[in-house]
Structure formats: C-alpha cells, structure tokens
Structure 1
C-alpha cells in the first residue's frame, strides 16, 4: 500500500482513499476513484509524480491480479491521471517499467488477435492509458493503437459523452510527440477529422487542438506532409483563429485573472509550441504565415506578464529568425523586429530575455550582412538593412547595447552561448 506521507491536503486525502479501495465493492470503488480524480486536478507536477511511482503502478497491477480492484475502475483512475499529466505537461518515466504497463500491452495484443470478437471499448481504453502514461512504444503497439484511436476520434455525434470520448482519444494521440509513424496508419483519417470539424464545428476547442498537435508532430519526421498541413488543411489560418479567440477570453495584463484561467494558459502554450514545430521545419513561405506571425506578435505583447507563456514565445521567435524561408522584410512588416527591440527597452529585463534577444538579433544581423547573388534579392536585403537601422537609431538601440557590453561575459558563462565580445557585431551598418 502507499505509505502515509508527510504532506497534508490533497496527497494525504488521495492516499487515504487509495488505501480504502480493496475493501470496497465495485460501486463504492468507483465513487472513491471519482473523488481521487477530483483530487488529482488539484496536484501540481511534483505532487503528481510523488504519488504515481513505480511502486504504485505495480500495486495497482497486483490489486487487479488479486481481484481487489476492478479493471474498469483502474482504467477510470489511470485515464484521468494520464489526462491531467498531459495537461500540466509532466512525465511518468516509471510507468513503462511497471508490471501494469506489461499487463496492458499484453491485453492490447491479445484483444487485437480476437478480430471479430474484440472488445473495442476495452481496446480504446487500454490504448489511451498506454499513450497517456508513457512516451516510448513498439512498432507493433503503434500499428494497433493508432488506427484504433483514430477510429474512436472519428465519431461525429455531438452529444457530451461522445465529445469526451473523441477528446480523450485525440489527447492520447497528441501525446505521441515526435515518434515516427507510418503515413498509411494515420493521414487520411486525421485529415478527415480536421476537415469535418472545419465544416461542421463538431469538436471541442481542446479536441481540435489535439488533432492538430498529432498531425504537426508527424511533420518533424515526414516533411512531405507540408502540403497537406499548410495548403490543404490551412493550419496557419486555423491556428490564427484559435489564438485570437484565446487572446480575447483572458485579460492577460491582470495577474489574478491569468492565475485563475490555468486551462486557457495551458491551451495557449500548446498552440504556441505546436506552431513552433511548424516554423522550425516548413520549407516554403506561404502568405498565410504573415497573418499568423502578426497574431503571435500581438499575443506576445499582451502576455508579457506571464513568464510561462513568454518562455514558449522565445523559442518560437528564435526559430522564426533562423528559418531562412522567412524573409527579413516580412519580419519587419509583422512587427516582429520591433517586438524584440522592445525587450531591450524593458526596465526589468531578466537574463533569459536578454539572452534570447541577443541570440535573435545576431541571427537577424547575420542574415542582413550576407550578400545575395540575385540582384533583386540583394536590393531587398539592403532595403531591409536601412529599415532596421533607422528603427534602431530611432529607439537608441546602440546606446542600449553598449550599456549591456559587460553582461555578455556573464551570459556566455551562464548559457554557454559564445556571444561575441566585439560590440560592433551587434550593430547594423548601412
């Protein structure tokens, strides 16, 4: 059994309820597990990991084996824990080593072999538990679970129960991150799910996000998906609409409101991280990217008080700079260059923001100082240099950088960044 912990509150209550499970009938077990699931949603990452250890997963396995815990009730607990784990972006590295994981994988393989007699609801539940609770999968498990969950996610009924099932199936799929999956296992099905929603709006906002996360994560290992993602399904337009809606539903400048709207913060972070994957990998510029970049610039400004989201934006902005598919002129037009310059002008500039700002500007300057073979592109490069030079001169950028000169050594030591100590490298010369 779980030993009593020193912590009070949700962990202590969760422990107490778990230790009572084996003495309950099925209905009482279910009631206690529903209470435990409610408690789970009050836990942060460290609290969740302190509860769900290798020992606990093995204990659950043993209780199922000895018929002290009904399998359906165990699944009810584990699916919800997996849901919350993904929502707050943490990991259980211990689950894949557990006897419970071995049990579930064995049951999936056995259920799949039944063909016409298989219990599809049980198979869905087992696949969701595995995909939500761990991050490594065999090719065989993927070949069974991916089609199974896409089928569950393709249900078109809009009643609340079906929507929850669809959302959970897509959440489990989205947690596959950057694992390579054969295209024939998923592409037609996920495209149909997204297209149907774009026409009929049958998915919840979360389910729609999970569908995109699953597809965009496949893009990292399969660049041929770019046409489907950008041209056919219009991801930039879809992401812009979703981000604009999120920017309006929270007053990002009021810390107390942002603190209360944890769900919206997490949803925003996931959209930003999903877009970052696209910006790191796309191969050809599309006009719709401009609208999305403008939206990101606007959202980055209004969320400046939220360090969690700003951390996501820093990586995304750096990816934008380093992807040479995006021309400097579009960065100027979108307000992106001005945004980064504004960071230097903040009165409370922290080390991390300073590091990213230097890194971003060095990337921009490197591109601006690289002469182009094509005459028209060279003309555009010089025009951009003048525009950025004038903007920086107007804002007093040169004086700001000189004032930070002594900081460069510190940033190099702290981040291992290798920033040049020659201050002239940080200026645009026309």
Structure 2
C-alpha cells in the first residue's frame, strides 16, 4: 500500500477507504498488529499528520487530517505521544457532530472506534475529557450514536483510568457507567436470536459489541476501587448473557467467566452480590462442562480461589461478620450439592501445567479452593 501511494498507483481517497475497512475489522475482531508501527506506511502517516497540523488555518485540509488520524489510530497498537496529541482532539471534534444522517453517523462511528483502539496510552486530561463527556452526555439525552459508537466512546474513557484513577468519580457517579453498561447489555442481549447458530450482518455486529462491553467492565473491575450500587447491575447482565450464549459463542462465554472472575477478585463487588446475581451458579455450571478447554478451566478455578480467599480474610471483609458467615454457608451448600469437591480434585494434577501454560496464580493446595463453614 505504501508503494502504491508513493508511485501514485492508487488515490489517497481509495487508500483511506481500504485502510479504514482493515482498521474497522481489526478493531471488531480484537486483532493486534505489532508490526505496523515499524512500517514505512506508518512513518508516512506520522509525517503527513505532522505536516498537515503545522499548516495555517487557511491551508489546512481538515478532511485529510481526519482520514490520516483514523487510519493511524485504527491500524496501530503503539503510538507516538506527539501524534496522539494531534489525533485525539481532531477526532473528538468529529465525534461531537450531532447531525444524524447515515453518512455522518458512519463517520462518527469510525472516529470513535479508532479512538477506542488507543488502549492504555497516557495523555493529558485536557486533550479529551470535556469532549468525551459531552459525547456521552448528549447520547444519554438524544440516543444519537450507534451501539458500536457509544460503546467505543466508553471504551476510550475507561482505558484512561489506567493512568488517571481520579477519573473514577466522573465515570461512576457522573456518567453512570454501571447503569449504562447494564442497560446496553440487556438491550443487546434481547436483540439477538441466540438459538440460531450463525448470526449475520447486524446481529453479528451486536454480538461483538456485547463482547466489547464485557471487556470494558473487565477493565473497570481490574483497575478501580470506587463502589456504587449501580455497578451491581452489570453483574446480572453478564450472568444473563452467559445463560443466553452457553450453547454456542465460546469466546463470549469465556469473556463472561473471565469478567466474573475479576468481579470475585475485586473489592468493588461484594461476595453477597456475586451470590445474589447467580455468578457462583453460572461458574459452577461451566466447571461441570465435560469439554472445558484450558483457559476456561483456569478462570473457573481462579473464581473459586478468590471467593475462598475473601471469605477467609475476616479483617478485609466488606460486611459484618454475620453476613460473612451467611455467605460462607450458602456457598458451602451450593458447592456441596453440585459435587464441586470431586470436580476440583479431578483438576488437581493439571494445576502445574495450567500455571505454566497460562499464568502462575493457581494455588497447588486443594484446600484453598474450598469454603469451610
């Protein structure tokens, strides 16, 4: 592509069209491209972005700059801080467009999707916060964004917490992440015919957006410690997604289990909420499956390891001792009824290999996976 552009065998307009489509599906399929940053095409884009940004207002080609920024962000996995400081404000300006024509909405969706690909990269609050807040708040009132565009706006913001924990209050209490994630998951889940083995077109896209919402929830649970009652809402939504997709969509099922494991580890979610929202039940259901593949087994075991650890640590328990003892009793009775002890015992010989193949976090002591009354 770089050679074609250099030799003028393809117009920039056609090159942008092709590259944006590649970036679009890279984002939807969650593909990482570690080599693009070293490519001549990437260097060409960085140079063109810098040159265009330095032009005066009269000379600057805004459309060209937007196209360059979208391609740069959507195709990359590593970014120049200097180029980010140009691309982020440029694309957020597009994201703020309120025109609801199909053409503008597609442009806004691609722009927000490209921004969501930045991941954990650090940037100054002044580059993004007012604009991304305005995009999300306007959608709350007018529902102007596509589901993918709205999720992408949230994903861009959630990733910023990694370097700025002070965003927690904005995300949870002002923009109501827990409420919005639960509502979107519910509406998306109800819009898909899960009994059909293969989704096409709009349905397939909505399944991907479900996966992306659960991934955003994972990121919040991994990094944040701010509690809000609204956050409990997405627990039940994840459980419902699991129940809908358990006959197919193994990657979505895995994402549900992975997210519930993060919830079991996080101090944000109380153990009694995991019980009340049936998180313990669905992980027990999954661990009984005869064809568990390694990473699913690993996450199920970690879920119970975290539950057991939290119920044993009286001084860190989030409720009074009476609630702790009640939770222990309920979980003990559930796992006893489901034959959990035999299942864990059957996995004992695989703990070492799972730790080597995945991550070394599984305890080799079988008693660590049990809750004793």
Q: Same fold (TM over 0.5)?
A: yes
Structure 2: any 5+ residue segments left out of the alignment? none
Distance 1:176 1:330, change over 3 A: same
Q: Which residue does the alignment assign to 1:3?
A: none
Q: CA deviation at 1:374?
A: 8.3
Q: Where do 1:28-427 residues align within 5 Å?
A: 57-63=1-7, 67-117=8-58, 118-257=60-199, 261-304=203-246, 305-372=248-315, 377-412=320-355, 414-415=357-358, 417=360, 419-427=362-370
Q: CA deviation at 1:221?
A: 1.3
Q: Which has the larger radius of gyration?
A: 1
Q: CA deviation at 1:413?
A: 5.1
8 Å Cα contact 1:60/1:100 also seen in 2: no
Partners in 2 of 1:260 and 1:154 — Cα distance? 24
Q: CA deviation at 1:409?
A: 4.8
Report Cα offsets for 1:204-233 as digits up to 9, x if no partner.
111111111111111111111111111111
Distance 1:158 1:280, change over 3 A: same
Structure 1: any 5+ residue segments left out of the alignment? 1-56
Structure possessing the higher relative contact order (Cα contacts under 8 Å, 6 or more residues apart): 2
Partners in 2 of 1:237 and 1:353 — Cα distance? 28
What is the CA RMSD across the aligned residues, in angstroms?
2.3
- Scaled by the length of structure 2, the TM-score of the pair is 0.92
Q: CA deviation at 1:239?
A: 1.1
How many residue pairs match? The answer is: 371
Q: CA deviation at 1:60?
A: 2.7
Distance 1:153 1:375, change over 3 A: closer
Partners in 2 of 1:136 and 1:178 — Cα distance? 10
Partners in 2 of 1:149 and 1:121 — Cα distance? 11
Q: CA deviation at 1:96?
A: 2.2
8 Å Cα contact 1:167/1:206 also seen in 2: yes
8 Å Cα contact 1:365/1:428 also seen in 2: yes
Report Cα offsets for 1:255-309 as digits up to 9, x if no partner.
2348994322221211111111111122122111111101111111221221111
Partners in 1 of 2:34 and 2:5 — Cα distance? 17
Distance 1:184 1:421, change over 3 A: closer
